[in-house]
């Protein structure tokens, strides 16, 4: 028996939850879709390119260097290291389920996965390469030359490299989380406390921003709606400006893409500045600066239990 007394809404919710193996639930959060059907040759080519260090100027860095799929699609570091071994200015978001986000990067400056790859390869702090160099390097490799000729009528081009990477990344869905199984009708898969946690997540309003199929990733929001997060944290940096760096609109100052909460329990540290070392720390910041509310210790515990049900699988194994 749970030590937490449910509110009336919670009681009604549990009336639904106690029916096992029901039809998919009508909830504001949605389960992950199936992996989209795509050209298998382009997928495999993209997989190889994802692990290819020759995309970087000094052959030191691949996409997989910062996006460890078995670790939730990030690298568990506050700041990933660029081609020169120096830390980047902003925390690396997960590549898992990134295809479901409405924009890419914390400040949303890329609207497609292709545009994201285009930017990273040329970034002076990340791969520091050029597309002319990448195309020349891959064209000189007989294996890549042949693979591109098979997958694309015009062979090795910058556009085709970006498309192959994006095609592969669209397959990187962390399926079969316990919460997805719950949404699909297996309501016994969650414990009573986890169900209460989901209800608290909705009751407190977390779901206003963390919504939809990716439980986030589909809107922009100011960090510090209910208080000055950056003054409280101190040591302002350029990356704190968020979307303002892209638009130069004052209303976009300190505005960021709302991150997905999928696999959040395994992708610490949190936020663009990696300031929250634990999930508990991140929840505290969200309550104080986004909601302006103070949860009970019990409610905080329940919400964290719910968040842990969002961890999916990769390669057939739990993350």
Catalytic residue among 114, 126, 169, 194: 126
Cα–Cα separations (whole angstroms), residue 100 to 33, 34, 317: 10, 12, 21
Is 250 one of the annotated active-site residues of the chain? no
Say which residues have a Cβ less than 8 Å from residue 243's Cβ, sequence separation at least 6: 107, 108, 220, 249, 252, 255, 256, 257
Is 55 within 8 Å of 65 (Cβ atoms)?
Answer: no
Q: What are phi and psi of 83, to 5 degrees?
A: -60, -25
| Phi-psi category of residue 51: left, alpha or beta, with phi > 0 → left and psi -120 to 50 → alpha | alpha
- Say which residues have a Cβ less than 8 Å from residue 219's Cβ, sequence separation at least 6: 102, 209, 211, 257, 258
Q: DSSP characters for 188-255?
A: GGS-HHHHHHHHHHHHTTGGGTS-BTTTS-SSEEES-TTS-HHHHH----GGGGBTHHHH--GGGTTE
Q: Phi and psi at residue 171, in whole multiples of 5°? A: -90, -5
Span between the terminal Cα atoms of the chain, in Å: 29
Paired residues of 221 in beta bridges: 256
* Residue whose pair of structure tokens reads 């990448």 in the numeric block: 134
User: What's the farthest any 2 CA atoms get from each other in the chain?
Assistant: 67
Q: Which residues are tagged catalytic?
A: 126
């Amino acid at each position: 028996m749970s030590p937490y007394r449910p509110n009336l809404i919670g009681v009604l919710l549990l009336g639904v939850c106690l029916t096992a193996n029901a039809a998919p639930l009508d909830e504001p959060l949605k389960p992950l879709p199936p992996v989209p059907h795509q050209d298998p040759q382009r997928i495999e080519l993209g997989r190889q390119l994802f692990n290819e260090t020759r995309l970087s100027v000094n052959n030191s860095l691949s996409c997989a260097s910062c996006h460890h799929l078995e670790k939730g699609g990030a690298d568990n570091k506050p700041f990933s290291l660029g081609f020169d071994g120096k830390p980047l200015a902003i925390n690396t978001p997960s590549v898992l389920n990134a295809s479901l986000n409405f924009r890419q990067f914390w400040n949303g400056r890329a609207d497609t996965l292709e545009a994201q790859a285009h930017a990273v390869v040329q970034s002076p702090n990340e791969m520091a390469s050029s597309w002319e160099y990448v195309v020349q390097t891959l064209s000189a490799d007989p294996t890549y030359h042949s693979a591109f000729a098979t997958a694309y009528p015009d062979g090795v081009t910058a556009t085709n490299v970006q498309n192959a990477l994006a095609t592969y990344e669209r397959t990187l869905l962390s399926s079969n989380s316990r919460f997805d199984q719950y949404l699909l009708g297996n309501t016994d898969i969650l414990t009573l406390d986890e169900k209460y946690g989901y209800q608290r997540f909705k009751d407190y309003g977390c779901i206003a921003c963390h919504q939809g199929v990716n439980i986030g990733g589909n809107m922009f929001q100011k960090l510090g709606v209910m208080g000055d997060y950056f003054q409280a944290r101190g040591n302002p940096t350029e990356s704190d400006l968020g979307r303002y760096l892209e638009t130069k609109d004052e209303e976009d100052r300190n505005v960021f893409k709302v991150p997905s909460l999928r696999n959040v329990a395994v992708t610490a540290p949190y936020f663009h500045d990696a300031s929250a070392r634990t999930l508990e720390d991140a929840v505290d910041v969200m309550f104080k600066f986004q909601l302006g509310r103070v949860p009970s210790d019990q409610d905080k515990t329940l919400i964290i239990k719910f968040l842990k049900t969002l961890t999916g699988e990769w390669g057939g194994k739990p993350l």
